[in-house]
Amino acid sequence: MPRKLPILLLLPLLLFGHPAAAADGVQSLERFFNKVDTYSARFRQVVLDEGLNTLQETTGRMWIQRPGRFRWEYEPPFEQYIVGDGERIWVYDPELEQVSVRPMSGALGDTPAMLLAGRGDLKETFQVKSLGAQGQLEWVQMIPRRKDGGFEDIRIGFEDGRIRLLEMIDGLGQITRVTLSDAEENTPIEADRFQFEPPKGVDVIGDGQ
């Protein structure tokens, strides 16, 4: 069966538009990272190879509470849970009966989950560039200044000032597109949503405990 792939990275398209629309995209990006404390949404994720062949399609739901807390739940048949509790990142694979745990890295981290759960001056961590509008979406490109992370390029599409698409590419050219829907901003989220206790009998590996 296909390898399970946690949320990743980009569609290789150059998107152009009017300067005014491009500026709105950057403003929407800054608003999201500086004004949104909690966020939840459903997602549909498609992973593509270099030839744009589909490797995997998954759906699920995600929750974020800044700073550094998040939960991504993938639905069957690729069930998986990724939980950031502010100190550690837990990845639980029910099929493999395995939990991996590691310390949460600083800044915005090396996964889209940590990217969206981050806070602070984006320009210290990324080169931010407006790509303008295509259709109803306003696009912004974010290139990590660090070269040792899990991705090389990120593009975020905003619709009416809200995140609609997250597209990224890793160092192997693998592309991930995440489409968000039913989003809620700054709505209270239960604290236990960001806690994780390994189920009895599963293997726990890693150095985050």
Q: How confident is the model at residue 8 (pLDDT cuts 50, 70, 90)?
A: very low
Tell me the CA distances in angstroms from 133 to 122, 137, 203, one per residue in order: 21, 6, 47
pLDDT at 48: 85
pLDDT at 119: 66
Phi, psi of 93 (to 5 degrees): -115, 100
Asked whether 67 and 192 are in contact (CB, 8 A), the reply is no
8-state DSSP, 97: T
Q: Which amino acid is at 132?
A: G
pLDDT at 151: 80
- Mean per-residue pLDDT for 149-172? 88
Over the stretch 120-148, which tens digit does the pLDDT of each residue have?
Answer: 667 788 899 999 999 999 999 998 887 76
Asked whether 93 and 4 are in contact (CB, 8 A), the reply is yes
Classify domain 19-192 at the CATH class level: mainly beta
What count of Cα atoms within 13 Å lies in the side-chain half-sphere of residue 29? 30
Residue 92 has pLDDT above 90, yes or no: yes
Written in H, E and C, the secondary structure of 161-191 is CEEEEEEEECCCCCEEEEEEEEEEECCCCCH
Phi, psi of 186 (to 5 degrees): 55, 35
Question: Which residues lie below 8 Å from residue 155, measured CB to CB, with a gap of 6+?
Answer: 10, 11, 15, 131, 139, 140, 141, 142, 165, 166, 167, 168
Over the stretch 165-194, which tens digit does the pLDDT of each residue have?
Answer: 999 888 888 888 999 999 999 999 999 999
**Beta-sheet pairing, 126-134 with 54-65:** unpaired
Asked whether 178 and 58 are in contact (CB, 8 A), the reply is no
- Mean per-residue pLDDT for 98-109? 74
Percentage of the chain lying above the pLDDT 70 cut: 81
Residue 32 has pLDDT above 80, yes or no: yes
Over the stretch 55-84, which tens digit does the pLDDT of each residue have?
Answer: 889 999 999 998 889 999 999 999 999 999
Pick from 50, 47, 37: which is nearest to 5 by CA?
Answer: 47
pTM over 0.75: yes
Residues β-bridged to residue 153: 169
